[in-house]
Amino acid sequence: MAQLTPEHEAIARKSLLLAGTGDEVAAKVLAWARVRSFDRGATIFLQGERATAIYIVVSGWVKLYRVAPSGAEAVVGVFTRGHSFGEAVAFRHDVYPVAAEAATDCELIRIEADAVLRLIESNPQIAVSILTATFAHLHSLVAQVEQLKAQTGAQRVAEFLLELAHCGEGRCEVTLPYDKVLIAGRLGMKPESLSRAFQKLRKVGVKVLQNHAEIADVAALRDYAEEDPAEAWNRG
């Protein structure tokens, strides 16, 4: 593991975990942090493994998933640059409820949970930040359930693209996980359904080229994602 560079620290401070803390608190948390690199397909932690750390993604993609007794895999989330995960485990020495795997080659900031617990005892603001990040993840899961029940496949893909877009309006380009199967799993779709959804989104100005998506108009894509599913089906 390597020490953090100023670039690593800048990414970490924009994450859900640290965005709400002051510079002094963030510096104390990151003083215990180290950087780890993982090759594509490498296991970061296993479902049921004792939870020992919080992670922030510096580069690449990470997937969180659960394995059912039948052996089926359900993708719970995918995370990329600036996203954090594992916050809730900092409060108790429990096990990870999901597994984490490097969906691409990636670089992660690892923060030891025990170090965070020691800091919480002297500075409750850190606990508030962890609670905020945990709530945000819970809200994301609720939104995923809502999408599965109330949106077409193309609308779910549109929402996913909007989550990745750093532009509030106009033209925008986003980087996708290289493995389209990963996107399909995250959105509760089959790979062939994802391909059909990308084709439908061409009508609202989305072009997918390998692992990049070009959005002609972010506002138009947002309108499509939020419109009545019946209308979205008709447009498809």
pLDDT in tens, 183-208: 888 887 888 999 999 999 999 999 99
21 φ/ψ angles, rounded to the nearest 5 degrees: -100, 160
Give, as one character, the DSSP assignment of residue 81.
Answer: T
Contacts of 27 (CB under 8 A, 6+ apart): none
Query: pLDDT tens digits, residue range 46-73?
Result: 999 998 998 999 999 999 998 878 877 8
Share of the chain above pLDDT 70, in %: 86
Contacts of 154 (CB under 8 A, 6+ apart): 196, 197, 200, 201, 224, 232, 236
**Given 3-state DSSP classes, what are the helix, strand and coil percentages for the chain, each rounded to the nearest 5?**
45, 25, 30
> Please, are residues 215 and 165 in contact by the beta-carbon 8 Å criterion?
yes
Check residue 236 and give its pLDDT: 52
pLDDT band at 2 (very low <50, low <70, confident <90, very high): confident
Determine the 3-state secondary structure of 201 from DSSP: helix
Query: pLDDT tens digits, residue range 84-105?
Result: 888 777 667 788 989 999 999 9
- Does residue 26 have a pLDDT over 90? no
Check residue 148 and give its pLDDT: 52
Share of the chain above pLDDT 90, in %: 35
d(CA 89, CA 114): 10
The amino acid occupying position 48 is G
Strands 172-175 and 33-38: unpaired
The residues facing 54 across adjacent strands are: 111
Higher pLDDT, 167 or 213: 213
Check residue 31 and give its pLDDT: 87
pLDDT band at 9 (very low <50, low <70, confident <90, very high): very high
d(CA 200, CA 216): 14
Domains in the chain and their CATH numbers? 6-141 (2.60.120.10), 151-235 (1.10.10.10)
> Please, are residues 8 and 109 in contact by the beta-carbon 8 Å criterion?
yes
Query: What does the buried/exposed string (b/e) look like for 48-60 if buried means 16 or more CB atoms within 10 Å of the residue's CB?
Result: eeebebbbbbbeb
Q: How buried is 180 (Cβ within 10 angstroms: 0-12 exposed, 13-18 middle, 19+ buried)?
A: middle
91 φ/ψ angles, rounded to the nearest 5 degrees: -85, -20
Query: pLDDT tens digits, residue range 107-144?
Result: 999 998 888 788 777 777 777 766 766 666 565 655 65
Check residue 219 and give its pLDDT: 93
Check residue 184 and give its pLDDT: 87
d(CA 47, CA 152): 30
Higher pLDDT, 58 or 150: 58
Q: What is the mean pLDDT of the chain?
A: 83
Tokens 């209308």 correspond to 231
Determine the 3-state secondary structure of 35 from DSSP: strand
Torsion-angle region of residue 49: left (phi > 0), alpha (psi -120 to 50) or beta?
beta
